[in-house]
Amino acid sequence: MEIGRVPAALALIPDGNRRWARGHGLSIFNGYSKGVTKFLEFGEWCKEYGINNITIWALSSDNLSRPKEEVNALFSIYKKVAKDRKIIDMLHRNQTRISVISDKRILPSDLASSLHRLETETSIYKERVINLLMGYGGREDILHAAKKAAASVAAGKRVRFEEVFQRSLLSNSIPNLDLVIRTSGEMRLSGFMPWQSGYSELYFSNKLWPDFTRSDLEAALLDYSSRERRFGK
């Protein structure tokens, strides 16, 4: 079947790395490493379909409450990826900008610095972007925006509240999402981008994230293409 329409803005909740590792008798570190490798493949697949705005929930705020050794393993993997010259060269080859959505104060300083350098090095690219949500939580995003918007009003500024609220989101650079894909059979958003996902189409895959394939993405896109989007009308 031909894919008639692809999402302009696609988001991914890549769930199931730990279950995949346990099922293969591997360490959680191996599971997360496999998951990050799959991120890179996923980005390439999306490029082939002409999807130029991709958002990946790389690390949730809830993840930060997991055992310290597990969180540190994730930090270590992301720091290594951010410095990997092969990956950086691939981003340049594909003219892809990396945008990190995070309150970077909650990240280790060396990881925050590595991610900032990656953002800076790829900032020249405008058409194609991969947004990485790092230590992100939807409720925290909403509270952050509400506090900033309320402060503007309290200061006596004449503002359009919804506009200033949207500008105050940590995720303000991410447009409304057309399609959200979640893997591992979990059928919920878990607080994922509540502002941008209000009218998103949702697709849930039973595959654990490291097992997700190009064919699985194609199935999601075919399903999306077949839907009639009404936006509440």
Question: Which are the catalytic amino acids?
Answer: 15, 63
Q: Cα-atom radius of gyration of the chain, to the nearest Å?
A: 18
Q: Which H or E run includes 140?
A: helix 138-154
Strand order in the sheet with 9-13: 96-101, 128-136, 53-60, 9-13, 179-182, 201-204
Strand 96-101 vs strand 128-136: parallel, antiparallel, or unpaired? parallel
Task: Identify any residues that bridge with 97 across adjacent strands, giving them in sequence order.
Answer: 129
Which residue type is seen at 149?
Answer: A
Residue indicated by tokens 């925290």:
140
DSSP strands (E only) in 87-177? 96-101, 128-136
Are the C-beta atoms of residues 21 and 31 closer than 8 Å to each other?
yes
- Give dist(CA 29, CA 159) in Å, integer: 47
Q: Characterise 33 by phi-psi region: left (phi > 0), alpha (psi -120 to 50), beta (else).
A: alpha
CA distance 157 to 23: 56
For strand 9-13 and strand 179-182, is the pairing parallel, antiparallel, or unpaired? parallel
